[in-house]
Amino acid sequence: MEIEDIQNEIIDEFSMFEDWEERYQYMIDLGKDLPLINAQYKTDDNLISGCQSKVWVHADLVDNKIVFTADSDAIITKGIIAILIRAFSNQAPKDIIEANTAFIDDIGLKDHLSPTRANGLVSMIKQLKMYAIAYQTQLN
């Protein structure tokens, strides 16, 4: 499935909920299903800077597609990274680099995060795209 299709699926899922309490609960549930990072990758090198909570992300290139795993010490943050990984994992580096992230605005996430969490969200997106740039360079 292409990134845009996954993003539209996420938008549809979030639109089913009446209020942000339900959406937060859904994000927490998504975080529980997150493909967890192997303990050996929970290092300072894989920590995303700019996040209030600790968020570790690891990326592997498998069959020319990036597979992300992650973890966080905070349940909401874990849900946020789960949404991003769902949208970008198992995609070609070039597609991740070129992907639009407006779906975050479409689900209203930025409007319902504290300024520090919103900054963390931007840092997470930036880090996922940096992995994509690094792997794209290797493929060229």
Which CATH number do you get for residue 130? 3.90.1010.10
What DSSP line would sit under 75-139, residue for residue?
Answer: HHHHHHHHHHHHHHTTB-HHHHHH---THHHHTTTGGGS-HHHHHHHHHHHHHHHHHHHHHHHHH
State the catalytic residues: 51
Determine the pLDDT at residue 74. Answer: 93
For 50-64, 69-83, 109-123, 124-138, which range has the lowest pLDDT when averaged over its residues? 109-123
Other C-beta atoms closer than 10 Å to the C-beta of 129 total 17
- Average pLDDT of span 98-118: 91
pTM beyond 0.75, yes or no: yes
Which residue in this structure is represented by tokens 């992650």?
70
Structural domain including 51 reads 3-137
* Number of domains into which the chain is organized: 1
Determine the pLDDT at residue 116. Answer: 84
Q: What's the chain's average pLDDT?
A: 94
Other C-beta atoms closer than 10 Å to the C-beta of 92 total 19
